Amino acid sequence: MTDLASELGATLSNPRRVGLTALAAVVGVALASAHWLGLVVGGALVALPQRSLGRGLLAGFCFGGVVLSVFLVDLAAAGAAGGFLRFGLLRDVAIAMSLGLPTFGALARGLR
């Protein structure tokens, strides 16, 4: 936990990096709203500005959290949050995809 907090703190200490990451997240959410590959690409985009692969993976995972939040808010706005919660296994898979695909995409940081 301490490691995670320190990684996050290091990332947030650089305003330029924060700006790039935020921009990447916005673009990533837009892409993910159009196609499922956007989840992977979004994860890669937020990972690339990070200083290390580990930080990139963390950024990808956090981006997944953002995606999940936007997804749930979107469903709630359509009155469908309750319906989603009844989806059982598919609900769990959707949550796993929200977090997993961007984290997978963040592996691209290792190629930089």
Partner 1 sequence: MALSDAREFLSQFAPLSGSTWDAKGRQLDREVSSPYGPATVRYDDRGVPHVSADDERAAYYAVGYVQASDRLFQMDLLRRVMRGELSAVFGDLAVDSDRFHRQMDFVRAAEVTWEAASDGPAAPASEAFADGVNAYRETAERPVEFELLDYEADPWTPVDSILAQKQISWGLTGRFVTLRRTAVADSFDRETANRLYPLPDASNHDAPILRRDDREPNPPGGATGSTTSADAATAGSGDAVDPELVSWLEAFEPPEGIGSNSWVVGGEYTASGNPVVANDPHLDLRVPPIWYEQHVVVDGERDVRGVTFPGVPFVVIGRNDTGAWGFTNTGYDVVDFYTYETRMDGREYRYGDEFREFETRTEVVPVADGDDVDVEVTKSVHGAVLSRGSDGKALSGTTGRVGVQWTGLSAARTVESIYDIGKSAGIDDVLDALRKFDEPTQNFVYADRDGRTLYYTTGQVPVRTTDGEVVTGTRVFDGSAREGEWEGFEPYSDVDWAAANVVPFEEQPHSIDPGYLATANQRIVDDPAYYLSEGYGPPFRGARIYERLDERAASDEPMTAAFLRDVQRDAVDRRLDHLGPVFEDARGEVSGDARRAVDAVLAWDGEMAVDRREPLVYAFWTRKLSEHVFERRFEDAGLDVGTPNDWVLGRLPADSDWFVPADDGDGESDADGDGDDPDRGVVAANALQDALDAIEEEGYATYGDYSTTALTHPFDRGFLNYPEYPTAGGETTVNNFRPESMRGSSWRQVVPVGDDAEPARAVLPGGNDGDPLSNHYADQLDDWAAGRYREFGLDIPDGVDVRFTGGDGE
Which residues form the interface with partner 1 (CB under 8 A)? Answer: 29, 32-36, 38-39, 67-68, 70-71, 74-75, 77-80, 82-84, 86-91, 93-95, 97-98, 101
- Residues 7 and 58 sit within 8 Å (Cβ to Cβ): yes
Query: Please, what is the minimum distance in Å from the beta carbon of residue 98 to partner 1?
Result: 5
Query: Please, what is the minimum distance in Å from the beta carbon of residue 41 to partner 1?
Result: 12
DSSP state string for 72-88:
HHHHHHTT-HHHHHTTT
Q: HSE-up of 107 (CA within 13 Å, CB side)?
A: 5
Smaller CB distance to partner 1: residue 53 or 84?
84
Query: Please, what is the minimum distance in Å from the beta carbon of residue 51 to partner 1?
Result: 28
Query: Please, what is the minimum distance in Å from the beta carbon of residue 106 to partner 1?
Result: 17
- Residues 50 and 11 sit within 8 Å (Cβ to Cβ): yes
Instruction: Tell me the helix, strand and coil percentages in the chain, rounded to 5.
Output: 85, 0, 15
Smaller CB distance to partner 1: residue 57 or 66?
66
